[in-house]
Chains A and B, each alone.
Chain A
């Protein structure tokens, strides 16, 4: 079955430190990949997306993600986090065979240590 795994439920990093949030998917073909951010009580904001081409994609708020086909991964990175980055981050995929729906991972809650 198609699935998305975010192995880290909660991560705490110091302000100014680098960040990497992990995401793995399981599916045979190339998926369409997304990272969304959700602040408490808020909706889903798209950070970045990958459909094809360059496997390193840049998003908003200084985030980037790299698609690694061999590892079925799409990890999110930021070189220096800010206190305002504290939020829930969801990796999501859509698959060509069922492109009418997006499958979300269980999310990673990011806390920032002052």
Chain B
């Protein structure tokens, strides 16, 4: 069964450093998403991406965050200057169409645990 894959599974970085979290969405999917989950809290939407541009973003997704689809398969989340409060599990997801449209669901990866020290 096709799945969304994320690398690395765990990343430790020093405060102020840049990190890039990588995701390979399911191959025929057109919509891509990043979510994050701070330890012990709920999963929060960060950004959605379609047709090589951001279609929606939350207030969390400020100027330190950026997303990119550098080639035909990868989808990345970059955090330019990490802060302690960026420590969280980051989930990538993809869907064939917009979530809900034509009974479309989003498929989530296993997550990357980011620890900022």
> Chain B interface (Cβ within 8 Å of chain A)?
31, 33, 35, 41-45, 48, 50, 55-56, 58, 91, 93, 98-101, 103, 105-111
Contact = CB atoms under 8 A, between A and B. Distances in A.
B99 A43 contact: no
Interface residues of A, number: 26
User: When A and B form their complex, which 5 residue pairs have the shortest distance between CB atoms, in order from nearest?
Assistant: A32-B100, A43-B110, A100-B48, A99-B98, A94-B99
Given A96-B100, A100-B50, A104-B43, 11 more contacts: A32-B99, A42-B110, A49-B103, A52-B103, A98-B56, A100-B48, A100-B98, A101-B48, A103-B45, A105-B42, A106-B42
A83 interface: no
A105 B45 CA distance: 12
Given A104-B42, A104-B44, A106-B41, A99 B100 contact: yes
A107 B43 CA distance: 9
Contact of B100 (A51, A90, A106, A107): A51
Given A100-B56, A101-B99, A43 B91 contact: yes
Contacts of B33: 100-102
Contacts of B108: 36, 43-44, 46
Nearest to B4: A43
A34 interface: yes
